[in-house]
Each structure stands twice: as C-alpha cells, then as structure tokens.
Structure 1
Amino acid sequence: MFHKEGYKIMTLTAILLIAINIITYTLINTYWIKFSILVLSVILFLLIIQFFRNPTRRTEINSRNIVAPVDGKVVVIEEVYEKEYFKDKRLQVSIFMSPINVHVTRHPVGGRVKFSKYHPGKFLVAWHPKSSEENERTTVVVENEVAGEILYRQIAGAMAKRIVNYAEEGQEVTQGSDSGFIKFGSRVDVFMPIGTPIEVALNQKVKGGLSVIGKIQD
C-alpha cells in the first residue's frame, strides 16, 4: 500500500525510466551498457516506491497515551521553552526519520485540532539545533479532555523539500490517523506537559501510530 502523496512522483518516475530505457535500447548496441541502465532504473524505482509505502497501522486508542507520530529514531528528550503556541516550558521528544523510514505523519492523540500553521523556512539538516525554529515546518495542536493540548511539529530537513499537513483547525481527528507526509527525510517534535512520564529512550527506534512515547498521569 502506498501513500497518495507518492502516486504522481511514482508515475512520472516510471514514465521517465521507461523512456530512458527505450532510447537506450534503440541507440546503444552494447549489451552490458543497456543491461546496466535497466538494472539501475529498477533499483531507482524500487527506492522511490519504498519511500512512499504506507503500511496499515492499528493504533490502540487510549486518551492517556501519546503515540509516536512517525517512524524513526528518538534523538531528543528534554525540557524546552515552546515559544510559538504555549509560550512556556514543555517536554520535547524529537524523532528523526531517515530516507528509508515510513514518512507518513500520524496524529499522536485524538481530539480536536486547536491550531495548525505552516511556516516557510530554510532546509538545514534535521538534527541542527536551529532546524525547529528556522526550517520549513508546520505546527499542529490537538486537544482532548484527558491529554489536554499536545503539540507536534513537522520539520523539513536538507532533503525534505515539501511538507504536507492535512490538519485543519476545528477538525476532529482520531489517534493514529493520517495527518500528513514529509517528503525525503526529516523529523517531528512532540511537546507534552512537564512531568509527563516518558516511555522511550534516546536512540530508540519507534513506529508511528504504535509506539507509546508518553503517558498522561491521572
């Protein structure tokens, strides 16, 4: 199963690669060159389609759980001052996605979208300290009665040239459902209330919609 954001790119890539191979077989007589171009074309196409894969995830709905919004590796767990929306201290968990990870973004909690904003910006590497403030990014806040307000931020990286965000203010969303896509590598930051018990460790690999990264206390 593939994400809808990849259909156009996969189709154009297939057409281009087929055209290149037709031209190659027409103009070049050397067999090993033609075969090499064919093999490289198949490898490139497989790399493209694996990037846009969208595996089915059955999230266990629990209002106290905050699930990972994306697949990747936990690279930050720290208290920070969140200055865009909360304007106070929050507990930040950041997940870095490599090009081989699934890049679907999922809602970490269910509830109502209170805030959704796109920011144009730079394309610093995703682990750069300034990337969360200076890179192209989107900020989304979802609220429910148990978890309160949970903020997550899609951040473009050096390779990610487009962020797709489906969250709209006032929209009711389900935990683990599709909230967007980031093309070609980046990271997502999640901001939780101070004191939220963290269920992951640095460098731990997580799966979007499945791995619990934090639990809201009673």
Structure 2
Amino acid sequence: MANPRTRGLIRGTALASLLAVGLAIGVTGCSREPETGNSQAAATANPGPGGPFTLVDTKGQTVTDQTLKGKPYAIFFGFTRCPDVCPTTMSRMALLHKRLGSDAEKMNVVFVSVDPEHDKREDIASFLSMFDAPVIGLTGDPAELERMEKSFKVYVERVPLPNGDYTIDHTARILLFDRDGQFVDTMDAKEPETQAVERLRKLIRA
C-alpha cells in the first residue's frame, strides 16, 4: 500500500498530466466570465447569491441548501474537463483546507458541475479524487442546475468548438457562505495563502 508521500506524488502527477493534456489538445476550456470591473466589488454592489437547491452528490445522496447548514462552506462552480481554472482552483482549495488544521472539519468545500451533459456522478468523483481534501461534489437535473446558477449569480455559457465539441465559460470565483447558508464574500484563487486561510478561519469561528 502506498505511503502518504507516494499517494501525494501520484495525485500531483495525475493533476499535472490533466493540465498538460487539456492545454495540448484544446478539447475543452474553462475561463472567467467577461471582466466588467472588480468582481468582488460587483458582488458587494449586488448582494444576495444563494438560495434553495436540490442536487445529488457523487454517491447519489440528495443534498440541499438545508443539508449544508450547520457549517460554513466554500462553493465553486466548474466542470471536470476544464484544463486550467477548475483543477487549479480545486487544488488551491484543497491546500487551504489542509492549512486550516484542526479547523478543517468545521467547514465544507463544495464543487458543483455546470456540465450535466458530460459530468456524471462517477466523473465528478474521479475528478475530485485528485485533490487531497474532502470535497462535496454535486450535480443534478439541468433545469435545477440552471436555476441554481442564476440564484447564486454564477455566469455560465456553453461555447461550441470547431471540432463539434464544446467548452464552458463560467465564473471563476469561490463563493463563501456562513453556517446559516448566508452569502458572506467571494474569494479569488490567487489570494495570498496566509490571508485566505485567515479569512476561512474567521468564517469558521464567526
């Protein structure tokens, strides 16, 4: 059985391979929504992301907004075939979660697929297995996902590719919610690690 260090190297190699292949063949993409100024300022000017939803996790169990209450959570909307922003952001969230130490179990990290056509439960489970952190992976009925994207104020646009495939442009921010399910703030994956960890710790202890 591989030791923790070996398993970490395997995960790192798998992630590096995913990034290399995705960028090389250009089959799918993943990008930020069109920039219209400071995204955090925009979120502040238009508060209120969040609301009821009913999805399923990678084990087929129903997860709702009520299920997540009791712990603060960080939620990211993406898709498993994304070659850059999604794996980079999830890797970052896994690192921050680990840096929380004993506080890590007091908050949840959530990944919601915006590609229900391709991302089945097993695809999401395989994608999330690359990251060394417990992540709640969610998918569901396309209509419910679309409704959730709107209520969470997430930009999602399917973009056709010349080869007949498609990519998805979407919001690249991480949304932070408190233990009551109320929106608190957004987080950029490039935020300095120490600052980001302290923000999450503050959210946990609020």
For normalisation by structure 2, the TM-score amounts to: 0.32
Bigger Rg over Cα: 1
For normalisation by structure 1, the TM-score amounts to: 0.31
Query: If each structure's strand is expressed as a fraction of its own residues, which one has the higher value?
Result: 1
Q: Which has the higher contact order (CA 8 A, sep 6+)?
A: 2
